[in-house]
Structure 1
Amino acid sequence: MKGLFLVEPVVALYAFSSFLIYPLVQQYVYRRLWQELTHTPYPISDNASRCADNNNSSSNQSSYHEEVQRQASLFTLYTELFSTIPSLVVTLLLVAYSDRGGRKVTIVMPLIGTLIYTLALLSVSYFELNIYLLIAASFFSSLFGGLGTFLGGCFAYIADLCEDGRQKTLRMAGVDMMIGLLSGVAAISTGYFLRAAGFNWPFITSALCQCLNLLFAIFILEETVTNTNAVISDGSPHRSAMKQMIYGVYYMFARASHKNKTLLVLLILIFISFSFAYVGGSSIMTLYELNKPLCWSEILIGYGTAMSTTMFLASFVVVSAFTYWGVPQLVIVLTGILSVISGMVLLAFAKTTFLMFMVRVPMLLSIMPFPVLRSMTSKIISKSDQGALFACLSFLESLTTNVSTAVFNSVYAATLAWYPGFTFLLSAGLCVIPLLILGAVGLTGLDVAEEVKDQEPLFQGVEDIVEDQNSNHSVLT
């Protein structure tokens, strides 16, 4: 059976299955912590908000509410800390190794890890096990890679298939749009799913979708890298992966011209600084919605998450239009950063359900910088180094995502008592950093990259030199 060169179905099903449980994890932990701290059932109401019920409750329940908020944010912090390092190491190894070992390994391995975590989540929920087992499950699943590994492999897969820079930008933006659309559909259904069937059935549905996705990735998705002989002379795939990581990332920078090297570094700095500010602020939104005075129900959280994901669709449409009209890519990135700043500032002062929904409107273009920056960096790197490039980007993106989530959750726990919206103002303030770097790129004219010719991977030559030196050394001895 002939395979398909389509990674988009894998991304779509991954987004649906992940976002089917992602909004529920924080809610599940929140409810379990409420039961453990208060020794009472979690207050479930058919009203749009639980605040009306909470206002009639005692001051003790209000203090319990703040303590649960604090413990839930710390739980997220611990989860991120224990899963960060393994995920980062695996991301570097697998995505860089994919230049010779094939892209499918970077796609299949994270799918296995996600399935393991989902099954662990189902077990904890069904058997009512200790919720801190989820931290151990997160650590174990991170050994298979994470979202950064998966997306790094998918973007490298697309880069292999696209010769034209415009086509590459549109297809990478299309992947982001696919994530937004399917995660939005999943987010809307989570609230009703939870209300009708509890936590277990969404977890089971997600696991089944992930099994289907895994079968598609293994048996139907075609490989784009034809040279999949990853074993070197000593027969050690692990050594080959290490060499691929070290030599690939190093020579990606070493062989570039001075101008391209400077532009590459600046673009990566924009990418990680913007990712830190945006992801960090977004990671607090569910906890903020559960907190007073909003006290959102699971239905409203589902709608809020779904509305947030419409920014993927809006960003794709605007990126496509701007690319068609020939708008400079730096302008597209600038528009996206300003969109995040305006949305985060308004979010810090949103105290009603209507305003909480409306702050999503100015953030509709917030996803635009990611595909554009990936495309810009990909165009100034030779085709043989795409895996090394996206390994580097995925590593840095995963690092900033995990660190920002940990930092913003700890800041939220510390500032919860006096101003819960402070974290959103912090996010908006940190967006100034990528703005300044973007201005430096525009003013110096570095955004016009020099043409890069495709070359054979230099690390292969380095391996030959090392082997020759070893042979000479053995003769002399």
Structure 2
Amino acid sequence: MNEQQLLITKIDNKSSWFDSRIKICIYTLIWGCSLEMLNISETQYIYSYLKVHNSPTNHTPVEPFNNSIKEVSCGENLTSVTDDYIQGLASDWTWYMQLVIYSFGLLVMSVLGPLSDKVGRKPVLVFTVSLFAITFALRTYAVYAKLNLYWYLLFCVVEGLAGCHYTYDVICLSILNTCAKQDESKPFNIALFDTMMVIGVCASDIGTGYLIKLTGYTYPFLTGTALLVLILISIIITLKENTKLPIKQNPVNISSSFIDICSLCRKTNTLMNSTRQLFLMYILVYFTNEFPYMANGSIRTLYELGAPLCWNSVKVGWYTAAAYFCEFVIGILILKTFLLCMKDHTIAFLGFTSSVSCYIVFGFSSNDWTIYLASAIGVIRILPIPIIKAILSRMVHSDKQGALFANIYLLEAVCRLGGSTLFNNIYHHTRPIFKGMVFFVMACFPLCAGILLMYMTCKNTQSDKIEIKVEDPTVQNRKENCGCEDNLKKAKKEDTIVIAEN
């Protein structure tokens, strides 16, 4: 036996896939509710905070013992020029926070993803959720004490040290895909994970809108913190490690994790039956599609809060919940139907078309019904996400799933960081000219992703035809077989003559 070969522990896998799936779905439901409660409160809190401190006619100080800043409607003491200025400031602060979170998160996640393949999924998951509970508690205090936004920005660093929220997605999807026995179940498995998160997001969007309207911004932050503590306790008590770990564990080398995360692009032996070029092309398609999608949420919320729509927190919550429900819950049902009668690439093409149309209609939106129409058109725009994730997962060995999803969510973090930088600045500078210009720029990216995927599909189809012609046994093999039989008969005759002469 080779001494360098690791001795693998035996794990009882009886019903492990079912148990792990149910637990991960429950965690993810609560996780999505907690994250969205902070995300939707954070954007609106920044907008209201800047209105209170930048309104030219508001010189009344905020009551020092009020538990939080109250919601301010977009028409109060603001002209259209002032509202554009406040929208620009809010967009900039949203960008600063994402810059802080994902700059640190990119580095930490690049370590934690591959590290989970070595030390196990559960320790990394506990670490991430613990730091999230801490950063939520600190930000709750910042909102309660009405601290300067610079303090709030400082507290966002803790989320970056947790590897941002993508580390949670990396670990949970690695658990699900490690336990899954059939490759065909992976697209539905990934989409189910996204759907459970979105169900929590939808519930949070609706409840948070009313909570902000009734109590201000402190209690939504506090509730999100309590939900994270609940998840942390549940993971510690109920989740079992399902990763095959070596009996003799070597000391963990952090630098090797940076190398492991790049191994999928450097080493071909980590891939199943695919070339590195094909793998990188799918990565590029995924990146191009996700780049605007990751930065869309906060800009869309600011667009809805400002003139001419002037939505309040309740309306924003209901719309966001309905939009996510249509995309992920109805979208998962459509995906399940499409998988029965369509190929993966065809489903992805339909998703790209839906995404481009959605952005264009949203860019022209100046009233409520056009916003609703854009969401209806974009109901299947998320379908390329689970499809391409599943294609990439099939290309990689099971013991490299953690590194794969670390690559995927590292890519998403780059998209969110780069997308927020690009699109927040575009929104800031083009809003006085044309408010929906940023959405037209966003539409170009899924269009390019669809063109790139179409090129890959045509190229693969041509290569398949060439292989079929080369390996076609109908004509060439028959001629070769005929030649072999003639040679065999001639050889037998020569042997017979030699024997006869002897």
Q: Do they fold alike, i.e. is TM over 0.5?
A: yes
Separation of aligned partners in 1, 2:446 and 2:211:
36
Partner residue of 1:104? 122
2:89 and 2:432 mapped to 1: Cα distance? Answer: 13
Is the contact made by 2:195 and 2:328 (CA closer than 8 Å) also made in structure 1? yes
Among 22, 33, 36, the residue aligned to 1:16: 33
State how far apart, in whole Å, the 1-side matches of 2:163 and 2:103 are: 10
Q: Which residue of 2 aligns with 1:148?
A: 166
Indicate the residue corresponding to 1:319 in structure 2. 335
Instruction: Give, in angstroms, the shift of residue 302 of structure 1.
Output: 0.6
Runs of 4+ in 1 over 6 A off after TM superposition: 446-449
Q: Secondary structure at the match of 1:427?
A: helix
Contact 1:104 1:223 in 2 (8 A): yes
Which residue does 1:376 correspond to in 2?
391
Give the TM-score normalised by structure 1.
Answer: 0.85
Q: 2:494 aligns to what?
A: none
Indicate the structure (1 or 2) with the bigger Cα radius of gyration. 2
SS class of match (2:136): helix
Distance in 1, Cα, partners of 2:328 & 2:59: 40
The alpha-carbon deviation at position 401 of structure 1 amounts to 1.5
Amino acid at match of 2:361: L
Aligned pair 1:347/2:347, yes or no?
no
State which of 269, 288, 291 in structure 2 corresponds to 1:276.
291
Which amino acid is 1:398 matched to? Answer: A
Contact 1:76 1:406 in 2 (8 A): no
Match 1:173 to one of 180, 185, 191: 191
The separation in 1 between residues aligned to 2:173 and 2:462, in whole angstroms, is 21
Task: For 2:234, give the aligned amino acid.
Answer: F
Determine the structure 1 residue equivalent to 2:402. Answer: 387
Distance in 2, matches of 1:299 and 1:256, equals: 48
1:468 matched residue in structure 2: none
1:227 corresponding residue in structure 2 = 245
Q: 2:51 aligns with which of 34, 37, 53?
A: 34
1:67 to 72, 77, 85: 85
Q: CA-atom RMSD, angstroms? A: 2.4
Structure 1 segment 62-461 matched on structure 2, within 5 A: 62-227=80-245, 231-232=249-250, 235-239=251-255, 241-242=257-258, 244-245=260-261, 248-249=263-264, 252-256=267-271, 259-310=274-325, 311-323=327-339, 325-445=340-460
| Partner SS for 2:149 | coil
3-state SS in 1 of match to 2:366:
coil
Q: 1:43 to 1:115 in 2, by over 3 A?
A: closer
**Structure 1 residues 112 and 43: CA distance shift in structure 2, 3 A:** closer
CA gap 1:162/1:69 in 2 versus in 1, 3 angstroms: same
Q: Quick one: distance in 2 between partners of 1:438 and 1:106? A: 35
Q: What is the alpha-carbon distance in structure 2 between the residues aligned to residue 242 and residue 157 of structure 1?
A: 21
Equivalent residue letter for 1:34: K
**What is the CA-CA distance between 1:335 and the residue it aligns to?**
1.2
Per mean C-alpha deviation after superposition, the further-off stretch among 331-340 and 250-259 is 250-259
3-state secondary structure, aligned to 1:296: coil
Tell me the matched-pair count. Answer: 435
Answer with 109-118 or 431-440: which moved more: 109-118
**Unaligned stretches of 5+ residues in structure 2:** 1-11, 61-68, 465-502
Q: 1 CA distance for matches of 2:163 and 2:96?
A: 18
Cα distance, 1:44 vs. partner? 5.6
Once residues 446 and 175 of structure 1 are traced to their aligned partners in structure 2, the CA distance between those partners, rounded to angstroms, is 32
SS at match of 1:227: coil
CA distance in 1, matches of 2:398, 2:462: 19
Report the Cα offset of residue 231 of structure 1. 4.9
Distance 1:290 1:37 in 2: 17
Contact 1:8 1:175 (8 Å CA) reproduced: yes
Q: Kindly provide the amino acid, as one letter, of the partner of residue 376 in structure 1.
A: I
| Kept in 2: contact 1:113–1:145 (CA 8 A) | no
- Residue by residue, what CA displacement relative to the aligned partner does 1:387-408 show, whole Å, maximum 9, x if unpaired? 1211111111111122102211
**1:330–1:423 Cα change, 3 Å:** same
- Residue 396 of structure 1 aligns to a residue whose secondary structure is helix
Name the CA distance, whole Å, in 2 between partners of 1:376 and 1:123. 43
Deviation at 1:62, TM superposition (A): 3.2
Q: Tell me the amino acid that sits aligned with residue 407 of structure 1.
A: L
Give CA deviations for 1:408-437 in whole Å, capped at 9, x if unaligned. 111111111111101111111122221111
1:186 CA drift (Å): 0.6
Task: Give the Cα–Cα distance (whole angstroms) in 2 for the partners of residues 211 and 390 of structure 1.
Answer: 25
Q: Which amino acid aligns with 1:206?
A: G
CA apart distance, 1:304: 1.5
Measured at CA, do residues 228 and 221 of structure 1 come closer, stay the same or move farther in structure 2, by a change above 3 Å? farther
Shift of 1:263: 2.0
CA 1:293/1:379 → structure 2, altered by over 3 Å: closer, same or farther? same
Q: In structure 1, how many angstroms separate the alpha carbons of the residues matched to 2:139 and 2:360?
A: 34
Matches of 2:270 and 2:391 in 1, distance apart? 17
Greater shift, 60-69 or 134-143, is seen at 60-69
Q: In 2, distance between residues paired with 1:128 and 1:69?
A: 20
Contact 2:110-2:257 within 8 A present in 1 as well: no
- Per-residue CA deviations over 1:76-114 (Å, capped at 9, x if unaligned) read 111122222210111111111111211223422332232
Shift of 1:332: 1.1
Contact kept in structure 1, 2:265 and 2:280, CA below 8 Å: no
